[in-house]
Amino acid sequence: MDWQELLFNFVGGLAIFLFGIKFMSDGLQKTAGDRMRSILEKYTSNPLKGVLAGILVTALISSSTGTTVMTIGLVNAGLMTLRQAIGVIMGANIGTTLTAFIIGIKIDDYALPIIAVGVLLFLFVKQRKYQYVGQIVLGFGLLFLGLKTMSSGVKPLANLQAFHDFITDLSSNPILGAIVGTVFTVIVQSSSAAIAILQSLAYEGLIPLAGALPVLLGDNLGSTITAVFASIGATVAARRAAAFHVIFNLIGVFIFMSVMSFFIPFIAWLGDITGANIRMQIAYAHGIFNMTNTLIHLPFVTLLAILVTKVVPGQMKQLQFGAIHLDERLLSNPSVALGNATHEILRMGEFAKETLNDAVNYFFTRDEKFGKLALQKEEIVNDLDKKTTEYLVRIQQSSLSEDESARSSILMQTINDIERIGDHSENIAELAEFSVAHKVEFSEDAIKELKEMINLTDKTIGLAIAALENEDKQIAEQVLQNESEIDKMERTFRKNHISRLNKNQCSGNSGAVFLDILSNLERMGDHSKNIAQYVLYGE
């Protein structure tokens, strides 16, 4: 046996397969755009809808890992509750079975022409949407080419007695099979790849159905490790979502392992009556496992949420995600609806101000906790920006008085200014991250100047929000005075820092970061001034 050829074919085939599925998934995500994230945010109001959203998104992006990590990101940002995430994760487990069914179709022989079509579209067509289609087709072809290469590589194992003995142990010891599947999936970091390899081994006659199904269950359990990695350093809620993913699959594997003596004959019978090859039989088993497991868990979502709360203890400051004042029933009364929109905008302003405070704390303390909080709150600001704007657009479709129309226009502009304050705060958080990563140090004078300008900017944003809330022109005038002072500080501190740079008192990196922070603070002052002017002049 040529071990080098076997190893090269297997490792190379696995690499081509993983690249193909990643390339295809990226193409699908580019085609789908932000719609996938929007689906997860909007259509998860109850666990059943969450399951359906998880199935749809996973089927469209061809990656349960992508869906699960995206879901944990939304939980981490406060845009999704743990209960909603549980439904999505269950749906993602069902959606991922599509890949196994695709692999079950024997089209390996057409991998090269499929790749050729993909390359033509990807490289030689100028329209971006067709390039994305080409990327999907190319990834699809590479997936099957990798599978074919792996299959040809493992064929010689059929003549190896040690391999036969190992497979015999797997067939007679389901627990060993599940452990092997779990470990292998953890190693390759892709349950789709692990299951595809299992399908290839089975198709080549190297492993019987009785040995393959326990390994399949282990593959599902091993897939949870990615979610665990994604949750490291995240919020308590995000870690709980990852814990549910582990518990969900662990319970499912335990149930199916206990009925393995019935499960194996059932899948064999299903394969016989449908005339399916063993690849497709494994796909059947994968689909039945995940669908049954979801149906078992779905009625107990609330209890499962309580369970993972016990498993992952900890106090968490729950960020109130989503809009809380935008009542659609009040759209028929524009005056009241505008009042509600104003309350939501004020709430958005508070989040934008908190984003700045967290970003600044990250910069001075270098504690990543504050950086993550800043990014979470900035995502909430963006979410409120979209939802409040849509609400105001719907208000404007009603018959508005002249005053109501003017008020609506002002609120639209205010939303934009608050959203930009959030963006500049995010920029400061990113500059803080750069400073931490590159160990950028600042002089005492630079720190003192930054703190002085940050304090005034923070105070000015707070005054602008207060002026808007109370329609207080006196406070608005104070905002204009503060903004003028911020502009003077920016010019003075910029000159001071350039002088320090010329005297080699600061490094190039520290100089760039310092000046960028000044610019972001000055722009926040400008947006605060805009809000104050709306209060003063109504324009």
Same domain, 333 and 450: yes
| Angle at which helices 260-274 and 278-297 cross, to 10° | 130
Are 137 and 258 found together in one domain? yes
CA 36/CA 22 separation, integer angstroms: 17
Q: How high is the pLDDT of residue 363? A: 92
Give the count of beta carbons closer than 10 Å to the beta carbon of residue 233: 11
Q: How long a stretch of residues is the chain?
A: 539
Decide if 323 is inside a domain.
no
Q: Indicate whether 319 belongs to any domain.
A: no
CATH of the domain at 360: 1.20.58.220
What pLDDT shows up at residue 42? 64
How much is the pLDDT for 259? 92
DSSP string, 157-212: GGG-HHHHHHHHHHHH-HHHHHHHHHHHHHHHT-HHHHHHHHHHHHHTTSS-HHHH
Q: C-alpha angle 283/110/189, rounded to 5°? A: 45
Q: Are residues 280 and 414 in the same domain?
A: no
Rounded CA-CA distance 69/190 in Å is: 13
CA-CA distance, 396 to 407, in Å (whole number)?
A: 10
Are the CB atoms for 323 and 344 separated by under 8 Å? yes
Same domain assignment for residues 275 and 353 = no
Cα R_g (the chain), whole angstroms: 28
User: Is residue 307 located within the same domain as residue 345?
Assistant: no
Residue 306: closest CA among 86, 90, 94: 86
Pick the last residue of a domain from 282, 311, 340.
311
Is the domain of 74 the same as that of 218?
yes
Domain membership of residue 19 (yes or no) is yes
Q: What does the pLDDT read at residue 292?
A: 94
CB-based contacts of 64: which residues, under 8 Å, 6+ apart?
58, 92, 93, 95, 96, 191, 223
* Per-position pLDDT tens, the chain of length 539: 567 777 888 888 888 877 887 787 777 766 655 566 566 666 666 778 888 888 887 777 666 766 776 676 666 655 677 778 888 888 888 888 887 887 777 777 788 899 999 999 998 888 888 888 898 889 888 888 887 887 776 666 656 666 667 766 766 788 888 888 888 887 776 777 788 888 888 888 888 888 889 989 988 888 787 667 766 666 677 678 788 888 888 999 999 999 998 999 999 999 999 888 888 999 999 999 999 999 998 888 888 888 888 888 765 555 566 677 787 777 777 878 888 889 899 999 999 999 999 999 999 998 888 888 898 889 889 989 998 999 999 888 877 778 888 888 889 999 999 999 999 999 999 999 998 888 888 888 889 999 999 999 999 999 999 999 888 999 999 999 999 999 999 999 999 888 887 777 776 678 788 999 999 999 999 999 999 998 888 65
Q: Are residues 305 and 334 located together in one domain of the fold?
A: no
Instruction: Examine the domain organization and report whether 226 and 375 are in the same domain.
Output: no
Write down which residue in 265, 280, 311 finishes a domain.
311
Residues 6+ apart with CB under 8 A from 189: 225, 226
Residue 473: closest CA among 487, 483, 463, 458 = 463
- Rounded to the nearest 5°, which phi and psi values hold at 210? -65, -30
State the pLDDT at residue 488.
94
Q: Are residues 71 and 220 in the same domain?
A: yes
Q: What whole-number distance in Å separates Cα of residue 476 and Cα of residue 462? A: 11
Rounded to whole angstroms, the Cα distance separating 441 from 437 reads 11
Same domain, 76 and 212: yes
Long-range CB pairs of 384-388 (<8 Å, 24+ gap) are 384/323, 384/344, 384/347, 384/348, 384/351, 385/348, 385/415, 385/416, 385/418, 385/419, 387/322, 387/323, 387/326, 387/344, 388/323, 388/326, 388/341, 388/344, 388/345, 388/348, 388/415
Which residue segment(s) compose the domain that 377 sits in? 328-537
pLDDT (0 to 100) of residue 92 = 84
Q: 358 lies in a domain?
A: yes
Give the span between the Cα atoms of 439 and 515, in whole angstroms: 17
Task: State CA 167 to chain mean position distance.
Answer: 38
111 found inside a domain = yes
Give the number of domains in the chain.
2
Does 465 reside within a domain? yes
Which among 311, 339, 359 is the end of a domain? Answer: 311
Question: Residue 314 has what pLDDT?
Answer: 64
Q: How far is CA 532 from CA 215, 219, 351, 470, in A?
A: 65, 58, 18, 11
Does some domain include residue 405?
yes
What pLDDT is attached to residue 280?
92
CA distance 306 to 45: 18
Question: Please, are residues 468 and 531 in contact by the beta-carbon 8 Å criterion?
Answer: yes
Q: Is residue 167 part of a domain?
A: yes
Q: Is the same domain home to 282 and 351?
A: no
**Which residue in this structure is represented by tokens 């289609």?**
133
Please, is 288 exposed, middle or buried when counting C-beta atoms within 10 Å of its C-beta (0-12, 13-18, 19+)?
A: middle
Contact of 388 with 416, CB cutoff 8 Å:
no
List of residues 6+ apart from 534 with CB closer than 8 A? 410, 413, 414, 468
pTM metric for this prediction? 0.60
Is there a single domain that holds both residue 369 and residue 274? no
